Structure 1
Amino acid sequence: MSIKFSANITMMFCEVPTLAERYGAAKAAGFKYVESAFPYFEPLESLRDAKEKAGVEQIVINTWPGDLKKGDVGLAALPDRQQEFESKLDLAIKTAKALNCKRIHVMAGMKPDNCNEAEMESTYIKNVTMAAKKFQPEGITCLIEPLNSRITAPRYFLTDVNKEDEIPSHNIHEKPFMYNLGLN
């Protein structure tokens, strides 16, 4: 298996004002592959056209984050956001297909104060399983990624690198990010 290094154009090339323009910046920096965390806030046609013009491959996008201004980083583990999570899966699929992207990272979300972790766990497994089933007929793989709980996302729900084994689907894979793995 070969490793593909990708530029996360949400976090890189921030001197370039739009996500669409960052495809070209990634190509100019020598990247063949890109990922973008939340490609939902610019016109999809602009992103698709910029990606095609740059000649890079979109290897992963994330699911809808929720309200970033309020600190949301995904919704899959949040019992009170179940409907929003489910309603945004079709948007993630539409976005992935437009960008010819074969992988969607299902973001778990942040643990609220006084959360019921058992309820979050069951919601997360249910939602990821549902997402994997919706993605499979579209040729899209469902990814999960444990984030480190010490620096990157101290209240992020998914920190267990073995969680993939607990989810009943063959269309789920763990997205290894060496930085997070080293800190968990």
Structure 2
Amino acid sequence: MPRLAANLSMMYHEHAFLDRFAAAARDGFAGVEFLFPYEHAAVDIKSRLDDAALTQALFNAPPGDWAKGERGIASVPGRDDEFRRSIDTALDYARVLGNRKIHVMAGLVANEAAREAQRAQYVEQLAYAARTAAADGITVLIEPINPRDIPGYLLNRQDDAQAICAQVGAPNLQVQFDCYHCQIVEGDVTTKLKRDIARVGHIQVAGVPERHEPDRGELNTAWLLDVIDELGYEGWVGCEYRPRAGTSAGLDWARKWLAPRA
């Protein structure tokens, strides 16, 4: 049965960030993910995870200056040293929080003429990140993201992500398969899951096109979760969506896979 992880960056905004862990556990989630932990001490987050008996599934390595519009620095020229320090920072947090997956964002393409060079740098930096993370038994993830949500993002397609993983050749480099992004960019989500599942390290769901609860819209998420189960996927499925109203009130779609706790 698919294991659902609440994305605490998008869900439970009724609560302060550190209080979202307990709220997610009360609703029956056994795991959580979020974009970035770096505004809080790792030990404080770990305390909330332990108190709520939650597993940390995933977070992102530092993306550069998010407030200024940066969306990763792995492919950005001249940021090599900063990128490598960012991997060290992410691994420091992962050692405390216990997650075995870290998502490394690719970054934005300066212009189309720069795309090939940035892709080459991206491959080189991913090789470094995977090699460094392997010492801690951690898998590095890359995620194709649709250009509507992040215009100019380097990586948009599932087949390109799979090709990059093959080019790097590291066993601990896998693809983060977000069904929402895949549907917007290329569709045919079920077929791509079946084609690529061997190198999929994390899956995420959201309704398309509004990115609300995955209970309506272009994707049949209940069907996809059954397919994911049939494929033998044993990882987490992150619920990376913006609730229409209250988070808990909008979880009817997920009751089949959640077991509320006291």
Into which bin does the TM-score normalised by the smaller protein fall? over 0.9
* Contact 2:157/2:182 (8 A) holds in 1: no
After superposition, the C-alpha distances for 1:39-98 in whole angstroms (9 at most, x for unaligned) are 111121111101111111111111111111101121111112221111111110010111
Equivalent residue number for residue 149 of structure 2: 152
CA-based RMSD: 1.5
Equivalent residue number for residue 64 of structure 1: 62
In terms of Rg, which structure is larger? 2
* Contact 2:90/2:102 (8 A) holds in 1: yes
Query: Could you tell me the TM-score, scaled by structure 2's length?
Result: 0.66
After superposition, the C-alpha distances for 1:83-135 in whole angstroms (9 at most, x for unaligned) are 11111111100101110100011111122356611111011001111100111
Cα distance change of structure 1 residues 174 and 3 upon mapping to structure 2, 3 Å threshold: farther
Equivalent residue number for residue 29 of structure 1: 27
Unaligned runs of 5+ in 1: none
Three-state SS of the structure 2 residue aligned to 1:60 is strand
Calculate percent identity across the aligned residue pairs: 30
Amino acid at match of 1:102: R
Higher relative CO (CA 8 A, sep ≥ 6), structure 1 or 2?
2
Cα distance change of structure 1 residues 174 and 49 upon mapping to structure 2, 3 Å threshold: same
Query: Could you tell me the TM-score, scaled by structure 1's length?
Result: 0.92
Equivalent residue number for residue 173 of structure 2: 172
* Contact 2:61/2:105 (8 A) holds in 1: yes
Quote the Cα distance in structure 1 between the aligned partners of 2:25 and 2:119. Answer: 39
Equivalent residue number for residue 6 of structure 1: 5
User: For this pair of structures, how many residues does the alignment match?
Assistant: 181
Cα distance change of structure 1 residues 22 and 115 upon mapping to structure 2, 3 Å threshold: farther
